[in-house]
Chains A and B, each alone.
Chain A
Amino acid sequence: MDYKGQHLAELMGMIMLVLSAIAAFVYGYMYSELKYTLCTFGAGTALTTALVVPDYPWFRKNPLRWQIPQSLLNEEPAGDNQKIGKKPTVRS
């Protein structure tokens, strides 16, 4: 997950939890049952956890741009090393 993804994750978590709390209060108040409030909020928390915690592709939309290592740029392409010449892959 990149930095912007982490920010998005925190924002998503906060908004979803507050929304599920509001929905839980309204639902429980309408039907005068505290169980509905608790169940709704529990479901909201579970949904939030499912959407925020795993490493989803939408959290990886702004990957870091690493520089190419200098050592790889300066070396002459040799026959014994097959990996020279390929672009270094970036993982964050």
Chain B
Amino acid sequence: MHTAWHRVNAVLTLASTVLTALFAFATFTDSFHKGDVYIFANVTRMDSLRQEPCMDQYYSRRIAKEVCDRARLGFDLQVDLHDEFTWMTKQLFLYVTVEFRTRANKVNQMVMWSHIIEDPKKAVLEGTGLDERYPYVVNDQGSGMRGRPFNLTVAWNIMPLVGVLRTRSQTFTGFRFPDEYTPQPATRQFGERSNRPAAKRAAEAAAAAKASAAEAAAHDEAGEALPMRQLGVYDDEEEEDDGSDWEDSMAVDEEEHLNDGDGGYEADGYTGNHHRDEL
């Protein structure tokens, strides 16, 4: 302390130690905070449960030897998380998981959707419109999904500015996968190989085209817009239910849409790879 530089060194070192202690204390007091949150999640539609080839790699062969169950569902979410924000919160990472149990695996968990909330003013989500978007896909390793009950868990990571990451969640139970597979549509799925002879396939394709053309004509006469299925895009308006009973949406009429609606890309639930299963 006999030189000015000595004193500068001493003061600044002590300041950094005191700053560390200050933030440690601040984080510690913040860990007791538990916000008053409102979460509600519901599965509003269950489009299909099918056995489909599950390919791990993008460049897999067209004929996959493995099949796995794949369910397509839509859910809705209402969230009020503004109370979780404190002076120590940087952001919240909100995500929705589907969990179920099969005979093969005790826990199957898939993240359906996630969202980052950086501001308490943006922490209220209502009418997220998640059930109107493309269906969310749930996979199984194998074929054990029929009739299984599953949970929808809404979880959020609270990321502090300084401190330990915390996770809180709320689980909603009472949902079930369908007991049987969705009946396959009569028309060929896009990219699906068929064992039937070429002539029969051509006849069926022609019949489907004629039927859909007739429907298009009917729609045009009624003055409605061209249905989306003609463009090969997933038809949202087929789901006319009020969202309360998803078993009704399992009824499939003959002219099923050609495309599965996911645009050719799906996130594989457990490997996290993106692959194209029509190729």
Contacts and interface: CB of A to CB of B under 8 A. Distances in A.
A17 B11 CA distance: 8
Contacts of B29: 29
Interface in A39-71: 41, 45, 48-49, 52-55
B87 A17 contact: no
A52 B15 CA distance: 13
Interface residues of B, number: 21
Contacts of A52: 7, 11
A21 B26 contact: no
B11 A13 contact: yes
Contact of A6 (B1, B14, B22, B88): B1
Contacts of B2: 1, 6
A18 interface: yes
Contact of B18 (A9, A17, A37): A17
A34 B161 contact: yes
Contact of B8 (A17, A29, A32, A49): A49
B25 interface: yes
Contacts of B88: 34
Contacts of B7: 9, 13, 52-53
B4 interface: yes
B22 A37 contact: yes
B25 to A, nearest CB: 7
| Chain A facing B: main interface SS | helix
Interface in B85-120: 86-88
A34 B87 contact: yes
Interface in B46-95: 86-88
Interface residues of A, number: 25
A41 B87 contact: no
Contact of A21 (B19, B86, B87, B161): B19
A53 B15 CA distance: 14
B11 A48 contact: yes
Given A18-B18, A28-B87, A32-B87, A49 B4 contact: no
Contacts of A55: 4
A45 B87 contact: no
A53 B22 contact: no
A58 to B, nearest CB: 14
Nearest to A12: B11
Contacts of A25: 22, 25-26
Interface in A3-19: 6, 9-10, 13-14, 17-18
Contacts of B12: 45, 49
Interface centre among B4, B11, B22, B88 (most CB of A within 10 A): B11
22 contacts: A6-B1, A10-B1, A10-B10, A13-B11, A17-B18, A21-B21, A21-B22, A24-B22, A25-B25, A28-B87, A29-B26, A32-B87, A33-B87, A34-B26, A34-B87, A41-B15, A41-B19, A45-B15, A48-B15, A49-B11, A54-B4, A55-B4
Shortest beta-carbon contacts, A-B, top 7? A6-B1, A32-B87, A45-B15, A53-B7, A21-B22, A21-B18, A13-B11
Interface of A: 1, 6, 9-10, 13-14, 17-18, 21, 24-25, 28-29, 32-34, 37, 41, 45, 48-49, 52-55
